[in-house]
Amino acid sequence: MWQALDCSNISFLLKLINRIRLQRKMNPVFVVFQSLIGVELMRVDTELISKANQIRQANVDDEVHLRGLIEISNYCRCNCLYCGLRKDNQRIRRYRMAPTEILSAARLAAEFGYGTVVLQAGEDPNFEPEVIAGLIEQIKKLGLAVTLSLGEWERQTYLLWKKAGADRYLMRHETANPELYSILKPGKRLSNRIKNLEILRKLDYQIGAGFMIGLPGGLDVEHKADLALLTHLQPDMAGVGPFIPNPDTPLGHFKAPSLENTLSILAQVRLALPSAHLPATTALESLYPQGYEWGLMAGANVIMPNLTPLHYQHQYQLYPGKAQTRNAAAYHQRIMELLNKLGRPVGKGPGHSILWERRQKDEKSK
């Protein structure tokens, strides 16, 4: 049921909205929502969101798993039309973190009590797979689980990293529309992406698929095909966040999806994948200062605090305003305060996917 709550003093409200909007140059609808939590003028499907929240609680409980994100390189051989790391973008300074820097960031994750480190990069052909394997081994020695988000590689490379101890691999399918996929990712095919995810699963990785909400050219605003593909893949985790126009890309003049649409799709992903890990994405937080909070209320159970040294974070611009880049300690502090406020405990241990744990049990009992 779509619900639009009313407010008695509209003229006061409009003045307030205008004042805040002028100060912060924000979208007025969002300002209303932000300034009036509890008295929402926005058309949010409250029933759907509270259902997603219930399903999340019943299946994966109240814990929020924190995965420390380290953006190890912003080189990319691909040219995705939506992404600031695309190879034709000359406006960012490229970097590749040194192994010692990456290990220091991973040590911070252990200090903060996170169970997992996520190594993320563009598809960087000059980051030697063996060096990455060595890093995985070192990070595992810190008692952390390792998630990789490094793009498409040969099966041999995935195997090398798996043998080194990698636990999970994030590879969003981005859009379930094959034509749109090949337009937005020149030279790439959706079928190949899905094949990669299947290879990763066979190698016993916990896999993460997912998509961007409101991509330009995506006529299916309800994302039915994306939800159906997720249901088919049954990923251990699903990264689903809003598309954010990046002025340094060919899609810079398109619009981000509305907050209502974004939260509604996120909630539907939770209904489709009751036991999967679902992050409140950095993209959601980048669009709306309370994005993490709303994501956690709409079915999410994971946050990925950024541990990348600040001077590199500034260069890792997939899209603008990437959660208002903060240093690791400030990021950590803010997330702990948020979880405290919401009464959501921090997940203990590696936070493996329940689905993967079930698969392990089934294998053993065979």
Q: How far is the CB of 83 from ligand SF4 (least distance, A)?
A: 3
> Which of 78, 160, 271, 336 is in the footprint of ligand SF4 by CB under 6 A?
78
Give CA–CA dist 116/146, Å, rounded: 6
Residues 63-82 that bind ligand 5AD (CB under 6 A): 82
| Angle between helices 99-111 and 129-141 in degrees, nearest 10 | 30
Q: How far is the CB of 296 from ligand 5AD (least distance, A)?
A: 19
SS3 for 24? helix
Residue 239 CA: distances (Å) to CA of 112, 131, 334: 23, 26, 21
Answer for the pair 171, 151: CB distance below 8 angstroms, yes or no.
yes
Strand stretches in the chain, DSSP E: 65-73, 116-121, 145-149, 168-170, 206-213, 237-242, 302-303
* Stretch touching ligand SF4 by CB under 6 A, among 79-87, 256-264, 266-274, 279-287: 79-87
Q: Does 322 bind ligand 5AD (CB under 6 A)?
A: no
> How many residues touch ligand 5AD (CB under 6 A)?
12
119's contact among ligand SF4, ligand 5AD, none, with CB below 5 to 8 A by partner kind, is none
Give CA–CA dist 225/8, Å, rounded: 41
SS3 for 328? helix
* Stretch touching ligand SF4 by CB under 6 A, among 26-34, 73-81, 109-117, 234-242: 73-81
86's contact among ligand SF4, ligand 5AD, none, with CB below 5 to 8 A by partner kind, is ligand SF4
Q: Does 318 bind ligand 5AD (CB under 6 A)?
A: yes
Q: Does 238 bind ligand SF4 (CB under 6 A)?
A: no
Answer for the pair 112, 66: CB distance below 8 angstroms, yes or no.
yes
Residues 137-196 that bind ligand SF4 (CB under 6 A): 151
Answer for the pair 249, 84: CB distance below 8 angstroms, yes or no.
yes
Residues 106-125 that bind ligand SF4 (CB under 6 A): 122-123
The binding site for ligand 5AD (CB under 6 A) comprises: 82-83, 172, 174, 212, 241, 243-244, 246, 283, 318-319
Enumerate binding residues for ligand SF4 (CB under 6 A). 76, 78, 80, 83, 85-86, 122-123, 151
